[in-house]
A and B are shown apart, each in its own frame.
Chain A
């Protein structure tokens, strides 16, 4: 079965073929797949019943239900008794999915496919960023940050106010003809159950999982999905108890450091890191960066938050360069990560 994911052809091949519809359903539920594709860029997902070979190497990722070992060709992913071996240069993930994996929850299945696809797509110039994306009146906003910083609440509040959404959690970045583009990748929103108190309409479309619930928002807010935009504003949300949300401008260095913190976690090689860093660097100095102190008005008065963001949608592009040519010899180095 052939799909397109972020303009890259994705071929799903299963042996026996009878397993294909079940795996296709999982992929279609989790990712923004379309039926067209560009044959110049292709990745393959091959699921068969081959036995898992012994693999040794550095464990680069370990979480409940998913581990990743770095191998000579890419990564070996293991989720319970299922596995996928990723060959990055061949653009292929090959492995075996057990019956218990196929019967597990969508969220449990998500990690294995997400990791595999992110790694394969990075070979095609598509780099993951832990960010939500919203779009309004010609301006694309990225909401960048760790889980729990308020990305999904903000995306929900703005979408409910009529804005378009790209994602509530992760986007892929790439070079486009006019600069850096953000592309939609994942399909459902990831909502903490507490969120349904403010968004009861989402609860009706939720699929229960362990901690968060997956919500098919296309059913809740039809016609508001947007599959790509050129980000013009980068926001770093932080939840505060204050009544009113407010913005604090960031310079391009602080914006790049913030982007690196959410984009540089899954990197395979120096070459891909250099390419990804170049994309983040361009985004940091072409978009306007802000800390967004996310107040209680996100739920109580989302129109106020929307108005706040509308005011920075077309900021004055006048970067005031700090003049350090006055003999300041302080060599400052800030570390993070």
Chain B
């Protein structure tokens, strides 16, 4: 849960006023829509959030358990990764 997902630089994000997000992958020319829940997670990537931070944000927004939020975040990340929309990286180790 300490992975930091990052949007693939080849993806153009378009946020709509209804809270949903549309993604356009420049290489594949495929486009995707994210509902408001998925969009909430996607927008966390602007802040270098870890998967744990994203789950926490979901818990704050919705009345759900931490386990359910973690499961939702992980499932979305698997989907996004399979479409090459995100890159998952481990957090940097602190240098002493």
A residues with a Cβ closer than 8 A to B are 251-253, 256-257, 260-261, 264-265, 267, 270, 273-274, 277-278, 280-281, 284-285, 319, 321-322, 324-325, 327-337
Contacts and interface: CB of A to CB of B under 8 A. Distances in A.
A327 B62 contact: yes
A264 B24 CA distance: 9
B92 interface: no
B95 interface: no
B37 A336 contact: no
A280 B16 CA distance: 11
A285 B68 CA distance: 32
Contact of A281 (B16, B33, B63, B72): B16
Interface in B19-42: 19-20, 22, 24-26, 28-38, 41
Contacts of A260: 22, 24, 31
Interface of B: 9-10, 12, 14-20, 22, 24-26, 28-38, 41, 58, 61-64, 68-69, 72, 75-76, 79-80, 83
18 contacts: A251-B18, A253-B33, A256-B22, A267-B26, A281-B16, A284-B16, A321-B18, A324-B36, A324-B37, A327-B64, A329-B64, A329-B72, A331-B75, A332-B34, A333-B38, A333-B80, A335-B32, A336-B32
Interface centre among A319, A324, A327 (most CB of B within 10 A): A324
B46 to A, nearest CB: 15
Given A264-B24, A324-B36, A331-B41, A253 B30 contact: no
Given A285-B17, A327-B64, A334 B33 contact: yes
Contacts of B12: 270, 273-274, 277
A274 to B, nearest CB: 6
Contact of A329 (B25, B34, B62): B62
Nearest to A324: B36
DSSP class of A's interface residues: helix, strand, loop or mixed? mixed
A253 B17 contact: no
A324 B28 contact: no
A281 B80 CA distance: 22
A329 B30 contact: no
Contact of A252 (B17, B26, B68): B17
A264 B63 CA distance: 39
Given A265-B29, A325-B62, 9 more contacts: A252-B18, A270-B10, A321-B19, A328-B62, A331-B72, A332-B35, A333-B79, A333-B80, A335-B31
A331 B35 contact: yes
Contacts of B28: 337
Contacts of A324: 19, 35-37
B31 A325 contact: no
